[in-house]
Structure 1
Amino acid sequence: MIAMIRYLSELLDERGRRHLRVMLAAQAGQGVLQGLGFLFVAPLVAALTSAPADWGRFWIWAGAIAATVATHHVLLAWSTSLGYVVGTDVLTSFHTRLGNHLATLPIGWFRGDRTGPIGRMLGKGTMDVANIPAHLLRHVVVGITAPATMILGSFLLDWRIGLAFAAGALLCALALRLLMVIVRRNDDDYEHDIGVSASRIVEYARQQPTLRAYGVLDRPELGTLEESLARQQGSQSRLTIRGAWGMIAFFGTLQLVVTAVIALTVGLTLNGSVSLPVMIGVLIVTLRMLDPISQLGELAGTVQVNADAIGRVRDLLAVPPLPEPITPAEPAGTGIELRGVRFGYDGGPAVLDGIDATIPAGSFTAVVGPSGAGKSTLLKLLGRFFDVTEGTIRIGDRDVRELGSTGVSRLTAQVFQDVYLFEGTIADNLRMAAPDATDADLDRVARIARLDEVVERLPQGWHTRVGEAGSTLSGGEKQRVSIARALLKDAPIVLLDEATAALDPANEAAIADAIAELARDRTVIVVAHRLSTVVAADRILVLDQGRITEHGNHESLLAAGGTYARFWHERLRARGWQLTSEGTS
């Protein structure tokens, strides 16, 4: 519980932390008063059963009980209202801090498999965290302080009964700890599986054309969605069943302790060691103690799940952002230099290992190589999606770490094969690159990217909404929007990854013309498979197994007869097969 309160405190500002401290103090006072109220019953009964009845003492203890109950209810109302205030504070701080932190993380951190977990964290996780101060903490604090007060008070009634209570409380605490460990271990698996399922559901919704084309909808054994849902169901079953066994162990221990204390008290009363009023008081305390402890056991699983939610938020907030310079440097040009560049994802094996290359300003460089060679990773490092593990990347004689993420973003425009367009109009998506762009600017870049052909045939032209992720446009049309957006940004360095892959001839020709326009007065680096793009490059870098094995222009690399020559001849054979197939169809 202490760790959970500490994590909550980390999420709050100073005002929120002050509210949290006051709320906890009020809840602790509420628990102490609840325990005292029941302890006061023993002297009350003693005053009433004495011969003759001591009405003076009776009314003193009755007044003490009444004052305790009244103060308890005042603290209950106050702590409950404070709980909602702190819950609201946590909710606000949660979104603010998480949003600000996500904006500082490396772009490459945002992989597809993180969509589901982050969405769940911002949805259910948000409510789980806010639910702790609003509803759960009061039961936890009272469930600890009320029994603790009654146990300490029982020593004043009889030290043997006090020891029995203390030993029983230790056993209950161990059983409760076991229950929470069981929940925590199984909840981690469940949250992981449900996050994966959420990502797969998003994928399933977006990839309906492919799934239907290949009949995967009729063959669930091939679909990762069904597999992930089955894993989620399994982990949920394990969480429920093992949690139930933990609950049985806890409540069994509690009942055993209560039975033992009652038996001990009755036995001590029968042999004359304990008076009847004390026995009545102990029985009332014992039975009353069941309520907060039972409630604590019933909520233990929920408390642990919500504490795990805080832990996941804390882990996310602990993901280090890219280091940023206090005063970003200004590059002396747009030439790019890579020296000893080594990089592996998440501390894994090196994807790029010892890359050395110089890309002059205003040049057109093509990067080729087999799948898995590290081509896309190289472009991501140039755009500072990540920082290199070893070595340096310089733009204009300045390390990209000295330029900062904002500086690198200002210098580069990126176009990737998987184009993402935001819900809105085509004009809105272009103006992301230049919010102040005029209609004339849009028309200019649209003509270069051949996007004007698309805009003219759409019923609402520039005001046509593209749908979620650009779903109303074809792949080639989205790529033209992406190229036009890069042109509108007018950055001196353009990074293109598979920009013409998997396009029909018309779209490929349009985008190839746009790339040629981009290369007129910019530094362009393109990962390319199309022969026309490769031949047009001033310089070609050949990557294989994370290293640059060859570099030069098309003619020199072809004459060398190495990896590039094999690549070229394979592409020629593939294109010849396509041409022959088209001619005979």
Structure 2
Amino acid sequence: MLRMIKKILNLSGEYGKYIKLSIVFSFFSGIFASMPLMSVFYFFYKFEENNYSHIEKDTIWKCVGIFAISIIGGIITKYFTYRFQGVSGYYMVAKERLSIGDHLRRVPMSFFNKNSLGDVTMAITSDLQYVESQAPQLLDWIINGTITSVISAITLMIFNFKLGIIFIIALIAALLICNAMQNIGKDEAVGQKERQSKAANSTLEYIRGIATFKMYRMSGKSTDKIKNSYREYGTACAKTEYKLIPLCGLFLGTLKAACGVIIIAAPYMALNGETTIATAAMIIIASFNVFSPVENLGVASGMLRMMEANLDRIDKVKQFEVIDADGKNIELKSFDIDVSNVSFSYENRGKKEDIDEEKDITIKNVSFKVKPSSMTAIVGASGCGKTTMTRLVSRFFDVQAGSIKIGGMDIREHTCDSLLKNISMVFQNVYLFNDTIINNIRFGNPNATMEEVVDAAIKARCHEFITNLPNGYDTMVGEGGAALSGGEKQRISIARAILKDTPIVLLDEATANIDPENEVYIQDAINELVKDKTLIVIAHRLNTVKDADQIVVMDNGEISDIGTHKELIKKEGIYKCFWDIRQNANAWQVRNA
């Protein structure tokens, strides 16, 4: 329990002071809530003092005053309790979401291979939402419940030692049961969270692949998978509850039994002269509420097991090592690229000595240099490592052997931001955010003016189709850019890169899936993008790269040859083979047999 309190307060950071203030006001709220009981005790005490014959008006007014102070004080303290709880919860989690977002931006892309998207999604959404809504209240119940229970025990011991002993015995028994509930819940919560993530993954997979499911008439089987994942999640939740229900009943039964014993014992003691009628009356009335803080502790134990599982999953995301932990903000003065003896394996992402199996190696001893303001093309068969090279240059992954230098500086010495501010990338598969066109283009430069955005769009050959849309630049593109065609999305991504205006540009099959009509526009857009830039381009269409300053030919993760187009077609190698195949393919025709 103390560990959980510490974790929540650490998570709250600068907003921890608001949680502490909410606990302080909640404590005073509890004092004001107990004041009516003090009023009842004072009333019976005075009534007993006057031999049960009369009550003075002064006594009545004092009791009314205590009630009034209790109501007004309770309203004020509750207001500040809820206000500070709300502030601490919402701001704490807002800060944490931004922190996790920044952390994910700096992890190597292998993180998303090792961890399911469902786990990450649930951690950022439902787990943090639970922390947001429950953490401040949970701390309030635990801390104030503990303090109130201790004060109640001491008070009962002062008024009547025997009744105080009954309360303490019930309290100890209830806390032991609560601890058993906590241990069971902790064990079950892990499996519960795993099945929750599995259900989330199944749902995401179904939504993403729904067109394929429909095409191959597999929708029935696909929904069976989702149903099974949710059934497993429901079974895990039910299993937890089945184990906890008997203990919950025993927990509440213990408290209610102790309350019943106190209610019977108090008047009996008063009749035997062991306590006063005023004290007995106060104890009887107090017994209905004295165990409320303890009951809250029981409820908190259930919340606590879920909170711990949630925080553990959040910590798992946060603890994944960032790729630029030792990086520095470095300003580059030149933009030549030197790839020297680089090796890399997706299977073994550790050091060089971890790459021990030939079949695991994606890139092996690759070396080439790219001069500033020149064009280097990387060509080769699918799976030969072309895209991996661009990912390594942009430091989406770190090399395991060798080095990549830009401007003479090893890219591993940079922070991600200081490196990537010099690099623009245009991918084969474009992703646009579910936002307006102007904001998607501004992603390349958030501070760009409207005139700069329009200028970039004109250069990217997308201004005309944007202005023909109903809302122009304020048109929402839909999730992933669903409202636009492939060619339109590609041109917007190029406009984004033009607006970023970096000295290095990486093009990964930017025209691979584009129809001939759009290819003309996109090629013009790319020509605008790469003016006076250091360019690395991956292409299957060799016509688009035959004018490159150098062509790097890759085969099974290694460099097969390097040279210009004219040099390579004179050699009997892979490039010439590709070129001949492409030239023959241009003459292919589809005929009706």
TM-score category, normalised to shorter length: 0.7 to 0.9
Contact 1:421 1:478 in 2 (8 A): yes
Partner Cα distance (2:35, 2:348) in 1: 55
| Residue 536 of structure 2 corresponds to residue 525 of structure 1 | yes
More helix by share: 1
Aligned length, in residue pairs = 569
* Aligned ranges 1:353-392 → 2 under 5 Å: 355-361=365-371, 362-368=373-379, 374-388=385-399, 391-392=402-403
| Residue 549 of structure 2 corresponds to residue 548 of structure 1 | no
Q: Which residue of 1 aligns with 2:475?
A: 465
Q: Which residue of 1 aligns with 2:339?
A: 337
Displacement of 1:231 after TM fit?
1.6
Displacement of 1:172 after TM fit?
2.0
| Residue 295 of structure 2 corresponds to residue 294 of structure 1 | yes
| Residue 582 of structure 2 corresponds to residue 582 of structure 1 | no
* Aligned ranges 1:474-493 → 2 under 5 Å: 474-493=485-504
Displacement of 1:9 after TM fit?
3.3
Q: Which residue of 2 aligns with 1:398?
A: 409
- Indicate the SS of the match to 1:245: helix
Contact 2:153 2:168 in 1 (8 A): yes
Displacement of 1:275 after TM fit?
3.8
Displacement of 1:78 after TM fit?
4.2
Q: Which residue of 2 aligns with 1:132?
A: 134
1:517-550 CA-to-partner distances (Å, cap 9, x unmatched) read 7666433223333444565552224253xx4353
1:19-39 CA-to-partner distances (Å, cap 9, x unmatched) read 432332343455578789879
* TM-aligned CA distance change 1:296 to 1:407, over 3 Å: closer
- Indicate the SS of the match to 1:582: coil
- Indicate the SS of the match to 2:425: strand
Match of 2:149, as an amino acid? Answer: P
Q: Which residue of 2 aligns with 1:22?
A: 21
Partner Cα distance (2:180, 2:233) in 1: 19
* TM-aligned CA distance change 1:187 to 1:418, over 3 Å: farther
Displacement of 1:396 after TM fit?
1.0
Match of 2:460, as an amino acid? Answer: A
* TM-aligned CA distance change 1:363 to 1:231, over 3 Å: same
Contact 1:161 1:265 in 2 (8 A): no
Match of 1:540, as an amino acid? Answer: V
Contact 2:19 2:88 in 1 (8 A): no
Q: Which residue of 1 aligns with 2:244?
A: 246
Match of 2:179, as an amino acid? Answer: R
Partner Cα distance (1:394, 1:239) in 2: 52
Partner Cα distance (1:549, 1:166) in 2: 78
* TM-aligned CA distance change 1:229 to 1:47, over 3 Å: same
- Indicate the SS of the match to 1:172: helix
Partner Cα distance (1:40, 1:244) in 2: 43
1:474-518 CA-to-partner distances (Å, cap 9, x unmatched) read 223322332344345442221122323333344456545655676
Match of 2:390, as an amino acid? Answer: L
Match of 2:370, as an amino acid? Answer: P
Q: Which residue of 2 aligns with 1:169?
A: 171
* TM-aligned CA distance change 1:82 to 1:525, over 3 Å: same
* TM-aligned CA distance change 1:369 to 1:46, over 3 Å: farther
Partner Cα distance (1:60, 1:308) in 2: 56
1:536-569 CA-to-partner distances (Å, cap 9, x unmatched) read 552224253xx4353424788789878x47xx85
* TM-aligned CA distance change 1:263 to 1:389, over 3 Å: farther
Displacement of 1:582 after TM fit?
2.5
Contact 2:339 2:404 in 1 (8 A): yes
Displacement of 1:61 after TM fit?
12
1:422-444 CA-to-partner distances (Å, cap 9, x unmatched) read 45565654454352454883465
Q: Which residue of 2 aligns with 1:95?
A: 94
| Residue 460 of structure 2 corresponds to residue 446 of structure 1 | yes
Contact 2:340 2:404 in 1 (8 A): yes
Partner Cα distance (1:9, 1:479) in 2: 46
Match of 1:542, as an amino acid? Answer: M
1:394-442 CA-to-partner distances (Å, cap 9, x unmatched) read 1110122444333322321101122122455656544543524548834
Partner Cα distance (2:57, 2:237) in 1: 52
Match of 1:496, as an amino acid? Answer: L
Match of 1:335, as an amino acid? Answer: I
* TM-aligned CA distance change 1:444 to 1:130, over 3 Å: closer
1:276-309 CA-to-partner distances (Å, cap 9, x unmatched) read 7688877766554443333433454345435554
Partner Cα distance (2:297, 2:488) in 1: 59
Contact 1:498 1:526 in 2 (8 A): yes
* TM-aligned CA distance change 1:368 to 1:461, over 3 Å: farther
Match of 2:554, as an amino acid? Answer: V
* Aligned ranges 1:565-580 → 2 under 5 Å: 580=588
Match of 1:393, as an amino acid? Answer: I
- Indicate the SS of the match to 2:421: helix
Q: Which residue of 1 aligns with 2:220?
A: 220
Contact 2:35 2:67 in 1 (8 A): no
Contact 1:528 1:534 in 2 (8 A): yes
* TM-aligned CA distance change 1:333 to 1:498, over 3 Å: closer
- Indicate the SS of the match to 1:413: strand
Displacement of 1:249 after TM fit?
0.8
* TM-aligned CA distance change 1:483 to 1:37, over 3 Å: closer
Contact 1:33 1:146 in 2 (8 A): no
Partner Cα distance (1:195, 1:389) in 2: 32
* TM-aligned CA distance change 1:24 to 1:311, over 3 Å: farther
Partner Cα distance (2:59, 2:139) in 1: 31
Partner Cα distance (2:3, 2:60) in 1: 39
Partner Cα distance (1:341, 1:64) in 2: 85
* TM-aligned CA distance change 1:543 to 1:332, over 3 Å: same
Partner Cα distance (1:406, 1:274) in 2: 80
Contact 1:365 1:540 in 2 (8 A): yes
* TM-aligned CA distance change 1:558 to 1:63, over 3 Å: farther
1:242-274 CA-to-partner distances (Å, cap 9, x unmatched) read 12431331331442465478669979979x999
Contact 2:108 2:396 in 1 (8 A): yes
Q: State the identity as a percent.
A: 22
TM-score computed with the length of structure 1 as normaliser:
0.75
Gaps of 5+ in 2: 356-360
Q: Which residue of 2 aligns with 1:178?
A: 180
* TM-aligned CA distance change 1:518 to 1:463, over 3 Å: closer
Q: Which residue of 1 aligns with 2:83?
A: 85
Match of 1:220, as an amino acid? Answer: G
* TM-aligned CA distance change 1:340 to 1:107, over 3 Å: same
Partner Cα distance (1:131, 1:512) in 2: 51
- Indicate the SS of the match to 2:387: helix
* TM-aligned CA distance change 1:478 to 1:26, over 3 Å: closer
- Indicate the SS of the match to 2:415: helix
Contact 1:34 1:146 in 2 (8 A): no
1:157-188 CA-to-partner distances (Å, cap 9, x unmatched) read 67676555444433322322333444455445
Q: Which moved more, 1:342-351 or 1:366-375?
A: 342-351
Partner Cα distance (1:522, 1:508) in 2: 21
- Indicate the SS of the match to 1:420: coil
* Aligned ranges 1:423-442 → 2 under 5 Å: 423=434, 426=437, 429-433=440-444, 435-436=448-449, 438=452, 441-442=455-456
Displacement of 1:241 after TM fit?
3.9
What is the root-mean-square deviation in Å for CA atoms of aligned residues?
5.1
* TM-aligned CA distance change 1:581 to 1:232, over 3 Å: farther
- Indicate the SS of the match to 2:330: coil
* Aligned ranges 1:491-510 → 2 under 5 Å: 491-508=502-519
Q: Which residue of 2 aligns with 1:539?
A: 551
1:93-136 CA-to-partner distances (Å, cap 9, x unmatched) read 43245325523532755859876666666655555334336655
| Residue 319 of structure 2 corresponds to residue 305 of structure 1 | no
Q: Which residue of 1 aligns with 2:358?
A: none
* TM-aligned CA distance change 1:454 to 1:359, over 3 Å: farther
Q: Which moved more, 1:64-73 or 1:362-371?
A: 64-73
- Indicate the SS of the match to 1:103: helix
